[in-house]
Structures are given as C-alpha cells and as structure tokens.
Amino acid sequence: MSRLKLARFEQNRQSPNVIESGKELFTTIKGKWRETYFKNDRPIVLELACGKGEYTVGLARHYKENNFIGVDRKGDRIARGSQQALDEGLDNVAFLRVDILQLGDFFEPGEVDEIWITFPDPQPRQKKEKKRLTYPRFLELYRQILKENGVLHLKTDNTEFFEYSLETLPASGFTDLTHTHDLYASELNLIHLGIKTKYEELFTEKGFSIKYLQCKNKKATV
C-alpha cells in the first residue's frame, strides 16, 4: 500500500466528519444522525458511491439548511472530500465509509430525505447486473431508508444503464419519474447547480450527453 493511501487512512481516522469502523459512532449512529452528529433536525441527503465527495461538498455549499452524507467504501477517496469540507468549515457534511448494501445498518426506516447517485459504475456486462446501483435489491434498500415521497436522483453518461434504470425504478415502487437524456439542454439542468464530478467533466469534454432522472419513494398503503 502506498504512503499516500496510508496517510489518507490516518487522516480519516482523525477526521471528525468521517464515520468508519473503529470509531464509536460507527456502531451507535443508526437513527441518531440528526441528534448525535449534526445536532439539528434538518433533512438528510445521501450521495451514494460518492468517491471524492464532489457532489456531497458541492450540495452542502448551496444548501446550508440540509445535512449531507457521502457514502463510499474507499477510504482514500473519502479522505479528499472530508478534508475539503473541513477546510471550508462545512458543518453540514459527514462521510460514511461502508458498502452501500450496509445502509440498513446505519439508517432507520424513513431517516433519509433524499438520495443522489452520481456517475456510478454502470456494470455493462450482463453477468454484473446485480452490482448496478439501480438493481432491485439496491432499490429496495433505498426505499426502506427513504421517507415517504423522498426523492432519488440519478446522473450518468451511460445510455444503457440509464434505460435500465428507467425500467427498474418504477417496477420497484418509485413514482413521479421525470427524466432527460440531455441534462444541459433541459430545464432540469437547474437542479444540479452546475456541480460536476471528475468523471462528468471528462465525459462532457468528450461530447457525451448527461442523462438525469428524479423520482419519489411512494410507500405502499395498507
């Protein structure tokens, strides 16, 4: 392991805005994010597979009235977003270092108000379908932690993955789906505030159109 990675792992260990294995909050935070970490009752927004946290930090700058949590299992990536948030004094930001399939261990049902999925690995090979972040088992997990009518956003450059998601989301119970195959030419462009991840910048420079959708978590009525 490189010295740089080791340094970033140590940075995470010392960073107050990183929740990871070995820290007390890692085992006690479920259902208590507002009370214990953020110390307010504001909405909670997740960025899944957040990488370096560009969206987590970018959204937190614009929406000081919300709490933002970047989720990723790669500690060296999280360290960069964590440090940026600390440098900017953003107290409405946290990072959770876990696999996305562990979300149910860290959030109570309905604890999350909004989810962003930005440029995930599209897993284009058919045998990798179960790893796509809009595969039904993931969507079921999102629905559990999202509140009633909580919003899910997805941005990607990959047309095949986007079309796949347009099918799996409604089939899994998400409603009010709005989408565009060319975000920058759409009125929906205002929603993303011009925030771009590294991958988004690369894709747009190569001429790829950015696909975007949003939908709501409609709970089943008894």
DSSP-assigned letters across all residues of 173-209: TEEEEEEES-GGGSGGGGGGTT---HHHHHHHHTTPP
Query: What is the arithmetic mean of pLDDT over 22-29?
Result: 96
Q: Give yes or no: 121 in active site.
A: yes
Cα of 43 vs its chain's centroid, Å: 14
Could you give the CA distance from residue 137 to residue 144 in angstroms, rounded to a whole number? 11
Instruction: Count how many residues are written for the chain.
Output: 222
pLDDT at 221: 52
Query: Which residue's entry shows tokens 């108000």?
Result: 113
Is the pLDDT at 162 greater than 70? The verdict is yes
**215 Cβ neighbours under 8 A, 6+ residues apart:** 151, 152, 169, 170, 174, 175, 176, 177, 178
pLDDT at 104: 97
Is the pLDDT at 182 greater than 50? The verdict is yes
Could you give the CA distance from residue 62 to residue 203 in angstroms, rounded to a whole number? 24
pLDDT at 192: 65
Is the pLDDT at 102 greater than 50? The verdict is yes
Question: Model confidence over 35-70: pLDDT tens digits?
Answer: 999 999 999 999 999 999 999 999 999 999 999 999
Active-site annotation holder among 72, 99, 113, 121? 121
pLDDT band at 222 (very low <50, low <70, confident <90, very high): very low
Least Cα distance to 200 among 185, 190, 189, 211 occurs for 211
Query: What is the arithmetic mean of pLDDT over 67-82?
Result: 94
Q: What is the CATH number of domain 3-217?
A: 3.40.50.150
pLDDT at 191: 74
pLDDT at 220: 61
- Backbone phi and psi for residue 108, each to the nearest 5 degrees, phi listed first: -75, 160
Higher pLDDT, 203 or 67: 67
